Amino acid sequence: MSRLIVASNRTATPGEERAGGLAVAVGDALAERGGVWFGWSGEIVPRETRGIRMFVDGNVDYALADLTPVEHQGYYLDFANRALWPVLHYRVDLAVFDDAAYDVYAAVNRRFGRLLYQLLRPEDLVWVHDYHFLLLGDELRANGWRGTIGFFLHVPFPAPEVFAALPQHHRLARGMAAFNLLGFQTARDVGNFTRYLVEEHGAEVLEDGRIKVFDHVIRAAAFPIGIEPDEVARMAESDEARDAACRLGRIIENRALVIGVDRMDYSKGLPQRLAAFGRLLDDNEGLRGRVTLLQIAPPSRESVEAYRDLREELDRLTGRVNGDYSDLDWTPIRYLARSYSREVLSGLFRLARVGLVTPLHDGMNLVAKEYVAAQDPEDPGVLVLSEFAGAAERMETAMQVNPHDVGGMADAIRRALEMSKEERIERWKVLMDEVSDHDISVWRQSFLNSLEAIGREAG
């Protein structure tokens, strides 16, 4: 079995707390095959001391490269976070386009490509992750690498004209065409990417589905990412989970709990969600005093203006609903701007009658899957899911909503609260089968199988 080389902006070094599902999956794949995990060290250091830290854990080598302050600003904060992230999530209005930032992004991909190339052996299988490294494959090729390179985009690939809004999209597309296999979360993303290459770059889709573009023949396919459902189910029954559910239960008493758990990000549809909950109370007098929304959303990347505005808007919306409807013993929206352990979250998911997952756009959305996996099979809650989350493509028995439609969401929450146990169980079973059938190990195995098959074809 060839060695696996994984490149991702952030890596999960051994012993780090709260390694997420992705880190576990990548770590397992690396441990199984042996290999290298390459990425940013998380350190920002002056140019003179910039280096690469290497250490070994079992049969996995970690190679972690530092960034200088200029690189961190241009590559990470400005281009990846303020241009690529918003455009890939359909928020061209929030994107800041800056040629100088792109140049630093390209330079970091070039420098990292050089560093990574030095670690490679001829038979290695290379797997690059996410939008930070769109040019990394091309840079490996520029250094002389001829082996197979796979790429997985964790976020959505938007409609062609949205991606084409990036002033540097031509150069990015050429970079992406250097990968042999491009994996996406959904069939919709694959369709968008293919149409983009055809419309903007005259690509040709071959009979076997491969795409001929810029003198390369590449493959694009969907590999929906998953979770470890058994792990979540186990955590939902842990002491920590029960304890958390008990503490919250004392406060909400016998009221129905509606839960939302997100990173605070403008892609998550939080203002629309809070507005929908407000509308639910406006329109249904009978629900006042009988249902509580718990929204957990720790702030992220506050340095960016758009996030500060979002925080203010959420405070305002929460204030409006709580101001209108709170009573001596009831606050309609409990908004917690902090993060919790996975055990605590699982316990809260299990307690909640309704899980609200309503991003405006999301690559997959793992919270949707975690909510399902945490439920009590005898008395499961209802998932209300945005049709624009990647998860929606295969979670058909969730109550799917348009996250821009505040009235529609309010109505869906009401119906979820009123749903019979029989229907809840019926819907949940189908969702749980999907979450189990496409767990995180199926994701990594199917991607690596496809990548290896391409390697064999290429001989």
Q: Which of residues 350-409 bind ligand ADP (CB under 6 A)?
A: 364-367, 370
- Give me the residues paired with residue 354 across strands: 258, 382
**Interface residue with ligand ADP, options 51, 202, 298, 319 (CB under 6 A):** 298
Residue of 28, 57, 98, 154 marked active site: 154
Across the beta sheet with 333-336, what order do the strands follow? 333-336, 291-296, 256-261, 354-357, 382-386, 399-401
Closest CA to 112 of 69, 65, 73, 78: 65
306: left (phi over 0), alpha (psi -120 to 50) or beta: alpha
The least distance separating ligand ADP from the CB of residue 249, rounded to whole angstroms, comes to 19
**Which of residues 120 and 258 has its CB atom nearest to ligand ADP in the complex?**
258
Rounded to a whole number of angstroms, the CA Rg of the chain reads: 23
Chain-centroid distance of CA 318 in Å reads: 26
> What DSSP string runs through 286-312?
GGTTTEEEEEE--B--TTSHHHHHHHH
Site string for ligand ADP, 319-348 (x = CB under 6 A): --------------------xx----x---
364 within 8 A of 386, measured Cβ to Cβ: no
Active site residue 327: no
Q: Looking at 67-75, 256-264, 277-285, 312-320, which segment touches ligand ADP (CB under 6 A)?
A: 256-264
Count residues near ligand ADP (CB under 6 A). Answer: 14
Three-state DSSP at 166 gives coil
Phi, psi of 182 (to 5 degrees): -115, 120
Helical ranges in 202-304 per DSSP H: 229-236, 239-252, 270-283
The window from 100-108, 123-131, 201-209, 255-263 that contacts ligand ADP (CB under 6 A) reads 255-263
- The pairing of strands 216-222 and 211-213 is antiparallel
Question: Quick check: helix, strand or coil at residue 36?
Answer: strand
**Closer of 339 and 400 to ligand ADP (Cβ):** 339
Rounded to whole angstroms, the Cα distance separating 168 from 200 reads 13
In whole angstroms, the minimum distance from the beta carbon of 346 to ligand ADP comes to: 9
Which span sits near ligand ADP by CB under 6 A: 27-35, 258-266, 315-323, 372-380?
A: 258-266
| The binder of ligand ADP chosen from 111, 263, 311, 320 (CB under 6 A) | 263
Catalytic site includes residue 72: no
For position 314 contacting ligand ADP by CB under 6 A, the verdict is: no
The least distance separating ligand ADP from the CB of residue 337, rounded to whole angstroms, comes to 9
From 138, 228, 262, 434, residue interacting with ligand ADP (rule: CB under 6 A)? 262
The catalytically annotated residue of 189, 362, 411, 439 is: 362
Cβ-proximal residues to 433 (8 Å cutoff; 6+ apart), any chain: none
Q: Are 110 and 177 in contact (CB under 8 A)?
A: no
- Shortest gap between Cβ of 339 and ligand ADP (angstroms)? 3
Q: Is the CB of 129 or the CB of 279 nearer to ligand ADP?
A: 129
Residue 416: CB minimum distance to ligand ADP, A: 19
Q: Are 185 and 161 in contact (CB under 8 A)?
A: no
Q: Name the one range near ligand ADP by CB under 6 A: 81-89, 145-153, 179-187, 261-269.
A: 261-269
Residues that bind ligand ADP (CB under 6 A): 20, 261-263, 296, 298, 339-340, 345, 364-367, 370
- Residues annotated as catalytic are 154, 362
